[in-house]
Structure 1
Amino acid sequence: MWKFGLLTTLALLCSLPCLASDSGHLSPIGERVDSFTLDNCYGKPVSLDDFSESNAIAIVFLGTECPLAKLYGPRLTQIQQQYSDRGIQIVGINSNKQDSLTELAAYVHRHEFGFPMLKDPGNRIADTMGAQRTPEVFLLDQDRVVRYHGRIDDQYGVGYSKERDAKPELTLAIDALLGGKAIDKPETEAVGCHIGRVKEVPPTGSVTFTKDIAPIFNTKCVNCHRDGEIAPFTLTSYDDVLGWEDTILEVIAENRMPPWYADPDHGTFANDARLTSHQRELISTWVDNGMPEGDPKDLPEPPKFVDGWQIDQPDQVVRMRDKPFSVPAEGVLDYQRFVIDPQWSEDKYIVASEARPDKRGVVHHILVYVIPPGQQRRDLRQAIAGYAPGSPPLELTDGIAVEVKAGSKLLFEMHYTPNGTTTEDLSYVGFRFTNKQNVRKRLQGRLAIDQRFEIPAGVANHTVKATYVVRQEENLISMSPHMHLRGKSFRYDIRFPDGRKDTLLNVPNYDFNWQLKYILDEPMRLPKGTRVECTAVFDNSKYNLANPDPSKPVRWGDQSFEEMMIGFMDTVPVEDDLR
């Protein structure tokens, strides 16, 4: 009857599904690093002894596709420039088996690194120094003794990002070292992707990539993990996967990938992205057995992805603005909003819409809202197009359409994720229309919303509730909980007029980076008088690492440092409402 593509996957760092941190390994603080020689990205040998006159050396392990390594590349160049006249030298090392010299050279050129970048074949230096992640820093004094180890700063972590006033741990350590003072915090937790090491396990066993693993990745992963999409590395071939196996196992074990946060005890959803227990076991077994490739004849046909429009040729294409928007190379970029007039002089009945990113590598989501005629603000109930990696367009059949009044304007809400390179984007949306006489029912956006709450400063569990009451019998199609950085959990409960109660959707671990639309496997009939009760819990404490400022109370607002409490729903009336 209908297909919905308003999967509002907001990921500040979709680009960060591979991130994690390490603890428990032996500290390198106080250990001396012996000299070594590696080729740089252009094949020229570079020795640690070449920097014998330097007062300190910051050895930083990096990877070409790790999101943090991309984001921190320009920052490391800034640090090199800032401290070069004080005898500080940054040296980058790439130990990933999956990164070739050609890829490394392209990475250096793209991000205009101002420091040498060396290749570590067989991860020999990484093993010697005990490096685990990218990026991971070892700050050596003039005697080549490790005095600081860990991250560059604390701006980015697993599932969170901070504004640029993050604590600059590396530069604080450099300042202390140059000043002859003790480093206050000599070791921090390195956060990033696993270094892709060469494994010594010979490939064995009956579980192979071509027969068992490729079908899983094709179904669950490559929508986003392919060339041109926003995910940080590709999973479209056997060679693509090699080097990422430790990261893959980690994000699966921690239920961070594929992104899906619904409690399985409540509701059945058509777009459930979870891996089955059997699929998890196959991947784990395959890695443990040395990742055999298998017979190429067993390799399934790769999934087909549309380069052009997924809907039929649009009747109208609307761009988000007159000129491209410049996405910076790094940092935290809040929502960008652009208002455009589509010049609709008559009521429109939309039967298909498709939002398309101009630059997929930096566009994580697009939402297109209606601003009704004569008004200045968007109608939250009318999100008429959306894009997120892997989400289908909106396509309606059987006489169902979205009605938009003449004179309406459109608001593009753009969520960008910087990827280390300044990028110009000019995204757009296409619409297909029908005549009013062809429409029987209107797709309706419904809300359970509270805009008057206040979350006290420092409180870890603050509950806000809102209710939607059904005014006419309708079918519930989907639910989309929406909060910002302090969101902790969200639940939809239902109370029928006859007294029956149930939980429609429970999201116990809400993640601002991945706000999903949960599409019911079958529409649910909601009689008149039914109450959909939404309960949101917020964490405004210092223990919420994504919290912009736990010292202040928080109220409603559009930006992510403010908060929202909305239970979005899509419904269709049971009876015809336009005939």
Structure 2
Amino acid sequence: MCSRNAGQLTAGLEHPQFLFGGRRLVALLLLLALGLFGGRANAADDNSPIGRRIDNFELPDSLGALHTLEQYHDRSLVVVAFVGVECPIARLYAPRLEQIARDYADRGVTVLAIDSNRQDSLTDLQGYVNRHGISFPVLRDSGNRIADQFGALRTIETYVLDQQRTIRYHGRIDDQYGVGYSRSEPTRNDLREALDELLTDQPVSVPQTKVVGCFIGRVRKPQADASVTYSRDVASVLNRHCVECHREGEIAPFALSSFDDAVGWGETIAEVIREQRMPPWHANPAHGEFANSRLMSDEEKQTIYDWVEAGMPEGDPAVLPSLPQFVEGWQLPRRPDQVVAMRSKPFDVPAEGTIEYQYFAVDPGFTEDRWIAGAEVVPGNRNVVHHAIVFFSPPNGRGPQGLGWISAYVPGFRPPEPVTGLARRVPAGSKLIFQMHYTPNGSPQQDVTKIGLLFADPETVTEELVTQVAVDPKFEIPPHAEEYRISTTRRHWPKGSRLLALTPHMHLRGRSFRFVGHFPDGRDEILLDVPHYDFNWQHTYQLAEPLNLPEGFSIECIATYDNSGNNPVNPDPSAAVTWGDQSWEEMMIAFFEVAIPRGSLVAKQRSRTVSAEVRGKAEKAADEMFRRFDLDGDGRIARGEVPPAFGAFGFGRFDANGDRWLTREEVLQEALRSIDR
């Protein structure tokens, strides 16, 4: 669920142009939709269905043809999977279930899928079958009768029945997806393991596993005297916090813009709110005030809980509030002055798997410096674009201070309103770099993402907007460390600058992040506290009031990491972890959106003297870069010797003369410019 005034979420941020190295970025498939999934009990549950016999049943498929369990009496095993048309995990597992059906068909195994969700129509069901190329029967359980017989609660929940139609296995298909995380591949294929064991007359070694998925939208009888109804009470809450994303054509996997939409998701909505997975917001409310806060009030939460408890009554449609008005197409205050596409032809997104970050470099044709007052990134296909970030790469590395950030798209993002006098400078000859993170949704897709730009009149610009960082790349997190602390401090700010927003960035072992402001008068203040960092939702926290940055002011950034086995997303608790681009490595970065008086950067760069300490750091950075990338030892680095991500973002910044070779002096000069900015 997303707030209408959602701020800038920067999921999976990587900024290799300010790093001195890095391999091509590989992101684990971290779905927005995983925030919607819960789990049911493990094998220790007293209500375990193992050993229960399932009676014969008869259900229609999406075309009306009737199927019975009895008609498969000659099959050794029957797999029954409860699915949902709009449940993201059921979409992801559809191709995998189809593959299992094909792989085991000749071994006497039949797969049946059952949809018991009240919100799924026969037309929806047939679309699900066609979209995922499903060959096995998908049946409609419109009254939840069969789901009740099995005791199924979630999608996708699977059961294996032996020839006597006794349940021998119950649980997940595999362990790739969990609440808030995704592995690049399963570590255990539970359903296949159970089938293999049963087909060879062995006992099932793990007969029950935890089920992860959406609640089955059951038919429930509303309380006649309910004090809370959808029309009078619930719709307004959903309009404020959910509908911007949960509506037709947007990134969320299902709509919540009507009673018929919402009633089938009531239990899921209540669960994710209660567990604070939705609406997505991770700032500690005790510290700081933020313009893009997504917090839901206790009263709003209780309204949802009471409605679900009362059986989700509709109430009087006559009192239903109007839906919010959303801007179709561009959400900028006017049509863009220029639109730039990431490429001329669509990028093909496969049905499943992990897709490396994709980079597309585009020449926008800037023959003079451009001041960007506003920008919006619009995905061509919201079903598979998890996030998109657009940077600029100046010619020969000749650009303003900062990271070259322009804009981003992530679920729920609304571009900030342009502020008169505030703009980003993009030098003439710059290229735009699209960083694309795709998340497959179970069927092949295509995408062409675009960015729309609003130009400012240079004569009106009084402040330059730049993205600055504090970073600590030199750490080693010990194996099994449960609370490892790393800190760094940014001490220097251009004179007269203002802090507008803060963004913490870590990877899968990130546990918490805190920004502490140290004022010249000795006062300390927690500017932002993120006690439960979530790699799926990397917000930019926009200050409700910009903070002036006086001389002597510093921001201490404190990050903690969980490299223990208690961290469910930890790729390997036994590994010592160092800096790296990939999700199974780590980063420690704090991003700052800063407004700087126009012209102050140039003046500062001209007047800067380099201290011995700064030069020493730069010398070490240059030596390290040559150690890593000068593979043939000839004293220079070719573009082909660096990873693609660094080549796309950072090479031009170092290559001052544009000859596509890096000398040590070029690397040293860029390091001097980068350190202690």
TM-score (normalizing by structure 2): 0.82
Match of 1:128 among 128, 149, 154: 149
Which of structures 1 and 2 has the bigger CA Rg?
Answer: 2
What CA distance in whole angstroms lies between the structure 2 residues aligned with 1:395 and 1:405?
Answer: 23
1:353 maps onto 2:375 in alignment? yes
Cα pair distance change 1:130/1:247, threshold 3 Å: same
Query: Aligned-pair distance for 1:236?
Result: 0.1
1:480 maps onto 2:503 in alignment? yes
Name 2:469's counterpart in structure 1. Answer: 447
1:256-288: CA deviation from partner (whole Å, max 9, x where unpaired): 000001011111111111110110111111222
Cα pair distance change 1:380/1:143, threshold 3 Å: farther
Name 1:536's counterpart in structure 2. Answer: 559
Query: Aligned-pair distance for 1:404?
Result: 1.5
1:556 maps onto 2:554 in alignment? no
Q: How does 1:257-406 map to 2 (within 5 A)?
A: 257-311=278-332, 312-375=334-397, 381-406=403-428
**Is 2:6–2:412's contact at 8 Å kept on the other side of the alignment?**
no
Q: How does 1:382-531 map to 2 (within 5 A)?
A: 382-471=404-493, 472-531=495-554
Match of 1:21 among 19, 39, 58: 39
Query: Aligned-pair distance for 1:229?
Result: 1.4
Query: Aligned-pair distance for 1:553?
Result: 2.4
Name 1:546's counterpart in structure 2. Answer: 569
The range that moved more, 170-179 or 3-12, is: 3-12
Q: Which amino acid aligns with 1:54?
A: R
Q: Which amino acid aligns with 2:575?
A: K
Name 1:7's counterpart in structure 2. Answer: 9
Query: Aligned-pair distance for 1:452?
Result: 2.0
What CA distance in whole angstroms lies between the structure 2 residues aligned with 1:25 and 1:517?
Answer: 44
**Is 2:501–2:592's contact at 8 Å kept on the other side of the alignment?**
yes
1:202 maps onto 2:220 in alignment? no
Q: Secondary structure at the match of 1:268?
A: coil
Name 2:656's counterpart in structure 1. Answer: none
Cα pair distance change 1:464/1:416, threshold 3 Å: same
1:553-575: CA deviation from partner (whole Å, max 9, x where unpaired): 22222232222211111111368
Query: Aligned-pair distance for 1:550?
Result: 2.8
Uncovered stretches (5+) of structure 2, i.e. residues with no partner: 13-28, 604-677
What CA distance in whole angstroms lies between the structure 1 residues aligned with 2:149 and 2:397?
Answer: 64
Name 1:154's counterpart in structure 2. Answer: 175
1:137 maps onto 2:158 in alignment? yes
Query: Aligned-pair distance for 1:249?
Result: 0.7
1:245 maps onto 2:266 in alignment? yes
Name 1:181's counterpart in structure 2. Answer: 202
Query: Aligned-pair distance for 1:387?
Result: 1.2
1:71-116: CA deviation from partner (whole Å, max 9, x where unpaired): 0000000001111111111110111111111211111111111211
Query: Aligned-pair distance for 1:510?
Result: 0.6
Query: Aligned-pair distance for 1:457?
Result: 2.8
The range that moved more, 46-55 or 426-435, is: 426-435
**Is 1:32–1:146's contact at 8 Å kept on the other side of the alignment?**
yes
Q: Secondary structure at the match of 2:395?
A: coil
Query: Aligned-pair distance for 1:422?
Result: 0.9
Name 2:639's counterpart in structure 1. Answer: none
Query: Aligned-pair distance for 1:63?
Result: 0.6
1:408-443: CA deviation from partner (whole Å, max 9, x where unpaired): 222211122211111011101011212322211101
Cα pair distance change 1:549/1:282, threshold 3 Å: same
Cα pair distance change 1:298/1:378, threshold 3 Å: farther
Name 1:42's counterpart in structure 2. Answer: 63
Query: Aligned-pair distance for 1:189?
Result: 0.5
Name 2:100's counterpart in structure 1. Answer: 79
Q: Which amino acid aligns with 2:483?
A: N
Query: Aligned-pair distance for 1:156?
Result: 0.1
Cα pair distance change 1:47/1:376, threshold 3 Å: farther
**Is 1:5–1:387's contact at 8 Å kept on the other side of the alignment?**
no
What CA distance in whole angstroms lies between the structure 2 residues aligned with 1:378 and 1:147?
Answer: 64
Larger fraction in helix: 2
What CA distance in whole angstroms lies between the structure 1 residues aligned with 2:225 and 2:433?
Answer: 55
1:130-183: CA deviation from partner (whole Å, max 9, x where unpaired): 111100011111221111110000000000000124310100111111111122
Query: Aligned-pair distance for 1:4?
Result: 9.8
1:47-66: CA deviation from partner (whole Å, max 9, x where unpaired): 00111111111111111111
What CA distance in whole angstroms lies between the structure 2 residues aligned with 1:366 and 1:546?
Answer: 23
What CA distance in whole angstroms lies between the structure 1 residues aligned with 2:588 and 2:224?
Answer: 50
What CA distance in whole angstroms lies between the structure 1 residues aligned with 2:461 and 2:600?
Answer: 9
Q: Which amino acid aligns with 1:13?
A: L
Count of aligned residue pairs for this structure pair: 577
Q: Which amino acid aligns with 1:110?
A: R
User: CA RMSD for the aligned pairs?
Assistant: 2.1
**Is 2:462–2:597's contact at 8 Å kept on the other side of the alignment?**
no
Match of 2:193 among 169, 172, 177: 172
What CA distance in whole angstroms lies between the structure 2 residues aligned with 1:60 and 1:479?
Answer: 44
Larger fraction in strand: 1
Uncovered stretches (5+) of structure 1, i.e. residues with no partner: none
Query: Aligned-pair distance for 1:41?
Result: 1.6
What CA distance in whole angstroms lies between the structure 1 residues aligned with 2:416 and 2:456?
Answer: 14
Q: Secondary structure at the match of 2:74?
A: coil
Query: Aligned-pair distance for 1:296?
Result: 2.2
Query: Aligned-pair distance for 1:345?
Result: 2.7
**Is 1:357–1:363's contact at 8 Å kept on the other side of the alignment?**
yes
What CA distance in whole angstroms lies between the structure 1 residues aligned with 2:6 and 2:373?
Answer: 11
Query: Aligned-pair distance for 1:40?
Result: 1.2
Q: Secondary structure at the match of 1:374?
A: helix
TM-score (normalizing by structure 1): 0.95
Query: Aligned-pair distance for 1:212?
Result: 1.4
The range that moved more, 68-77 or 3-12, is: 3-12
